[in-house]
Amino acid sequence: MSRALVLYHSLFGNTKTVAMSLAKGLQESAIEVDCYSIDDVDVTEIPNYDLVAIGSPTHMIKPSKEMKEFLDELKAIELKGVFGFSFDTRNESRMNSKSFLILENSAARSIEGTMKRMKMKIIRPRVSAIVQGREGPLNAHAEEAFIQIGREIGTALAN
Ligand SMILES: Cc1cc2nc3c(=O)[nH]c(=O)nc-3n(C[C@H](O)[C@H](O)[C@H](O)COP(=O)(O)O)c2cc1C
């Protein structure tokens, strides 16, 4: 059975909510899943998973400070060939247009970039969930959307 690890940082709980939705969808596709805050994960265990999904709130168009520190720590681990998926939460913004590529308002873009530099295999392009204001709530259907993404990634991983 394939194993997936879902990791998140969350200040107000929104990124945690979508991380748990993703984990639920993966489980529904018969994937063995662990879902942890980056504060609680043992980094030496990470190479034991087939898929590592990482999500962060978007802070100043980048991952949160805590997530950036975690990604620096992650770079010391060999994850070449492991499947990766990145996600974030953020506000709706005019900067989401692709013409602002360099300034894309998305923590997941940075996380995905780190995964690619580590030679992880991106199983699905990054996804954002939109929240209202700083503290949320999440837009309607975000949880269901992430459950469905989890199901689809789980199916891809199992095949
Ligand atoms: C310090 C700070 C900076 C933020 N900067 C951005 C930003 O650049 N772009 C954006 O879309 N949202 C920004 N936000 C809103 C966050 O993305 C939002 O608080 C987050 O998605 C909520 O997730 P959480 O509940 O998991 O913390 C910022 C929030 C904070 C607290």
Considering only CA atoms, which of 95, 86, 99 is closest in space to residue 60? 95
Q: Is ligand 1 within 6 A of the CB of residue 37?
A: no
Tokens standing for 55? Answer: 């999500």
DSSP 100: G
**Cβ(61) to ligand 1 under 6 A?**
yes
Identify the band that residue 97 occupies on the pLDDT scale cut at 50, 70 and 90.
Answer: low
Whether the per-residue pLDDT at 26 is higher than 80: the answer is: yes
Q: Whose CA is nearest to atom 9 of ligand 1?
A: 61
Residue 99 has pLDDT above 70, yes or no: no
Find the helix or strand (DSSP H, E) in which 89 lies: strand 83-90
HEC secondary structure over 108-122 = HHHHHHHHHHCCCEE
Atom of ligand 1 nearest to the CA of 89: 21
Mind spelling out the 3-state secondary structure of 23-87?
Answer: HHHHHHCCCEEEEEECCCCCHHHHHHCCEEEEEEEEECCEECHHHHHHHHHHCCCCCCCCEEEEE
Which atom of ligand 1 lies at the shortest distance from residue 129's CA? 21
Q: Is the CB of 139 under 6 A from ligand 1?
A: no
pLDDT value of position 103 = 73
Query: Residue 17 C-alpha to ligand 1 middle, in angstroms?
Result: 15
Residue 158 CA to ligand 1 center (angstroms) comes to: 34
Residue 17 Cβ inside 6 Å of ligand 1? The answer reads no
> What value does the mean pLDDT take over residues 110-135?
97
pLDDT recorded at residue 100: 53
Going from the N-terminus, what domains does the chain have, and what CATH number goes with each? 3-158 (3.40.50.360)
Residue 64 has which token pair? 């949160």
Mutate to test the pocket of ligand 1, among 60, 64, 92 (most ligand atoms within 8 A of CB): 60
Convert the pLDDT of each residue in 42-78 to its tens digit: 999 999 999 999 999 999 999 999 999 999 999 999 9
For residue 141, pLDDT beyond 70: yes
For the CA of 62, the nearest atom of ligand 1: 8
What does each C-alpha distance from 128 to 75, 93, 125 come to in angstroms?
A: 23, 12, 10
On the 0-12 / 13-18 / 19+ scale of CB atoms within 10 A, 11 is: middle
Q: Tell me the one-letter amino acid at 14.
A: N
| Residue 149 banded pLDDT, cuts 50, 70, 90 | very high
For the chain, what is the mean pLDDT?
A: 94
Query: What are 84-96's pLDDT values in tens digits?
Result: 999 999 998 765 5
- pTM of structure: 0.96
| Closest residue by CA, ligand 1 atom 14 | 59
